[in-house]
A = this chain, B = another copy of it.
Amino acid sequence: MNIDRYNSNGRFHEAVVYNGTLYLSGQVASGGGTVAEQAKECLDNLGKTLEKYGSDKSLILSATVYLADMNGFAEFNSVWDAWFENGTQPVRTCVGAQLAAPKYALEITLIAALKNKVH
């Protein structure tokens, strides 16, 4: 087996692949705007990131969602719920946590399967 690492910023890689599993770094939106806007931007970016590295949004296994303020839980969920094609939702954990800067309302960490491993 190999470890394949993609798109380093010198601090972490955006994606690491090992044993048929794709690990992504925690993804934030560009910051500012509403929780719903950040959720949409972040999820859409994650969808593109997954495709870049041989997966896609229907192959997400696990998601950990960190909200800067759990008062935004329902607003986040409304975007999340609409984003997935039914039947493809991953397992999920969603908790409140302090994020890297106040402009971020949320951060999402995904583990996904690879297209060429799933039959």
Q: How far is the CB of A39 from chain B (nearest CB, A)?
A: 13
Most B-side CB within 10 Å, residue of A20, A23, A69, A73:
A23
By the criterion CB–CB under 8 Å, are B2 and A87 in contact? no
Copies of this chain, how many?
Answer: 3
Instruction: Encode A38-61 as 1/0 by CB contact (under 8 A) with B.
Output: 000000000000000000000101
By the criterion CB–CB under 8 Å, are B109 and A93 in contact? yes
Q: A10-B86, A21-B19, A119-B1 are in contact. Are A99 and B91 (CB under 8 A)?
A: no
Most B-side CB within 10 Å, residue of A15, A19, A24:
A19
Task: Categorize the interface residue count of chain A.
Answer: 35 or more
Q: Which of B1, B12, B61, B89 contacts A8 (CB 8 A)?
A: B89
Cross-chain pairs A/B with CB under 8 angstroms, 18 sampled: A1-B113, A11-B77, A11-B80, A11-B81, A12-B92, A13-B90, A19-B20, A23-B90, A24-B91, A25-B91, A25-B93, A26-B92, A26-B94, A66-B93, A66-B95, A70-B100, A73-B100, A96-B99
Tell me the A residues contacting B by CB distance below 8 Å.
1-3, 5, 8, 10-16, 18-21, 23-26, 59, 61-64, 66-67, 69-70, 73, 77, 80-81, 86-100, 107, 109, 111, 113, 117-119
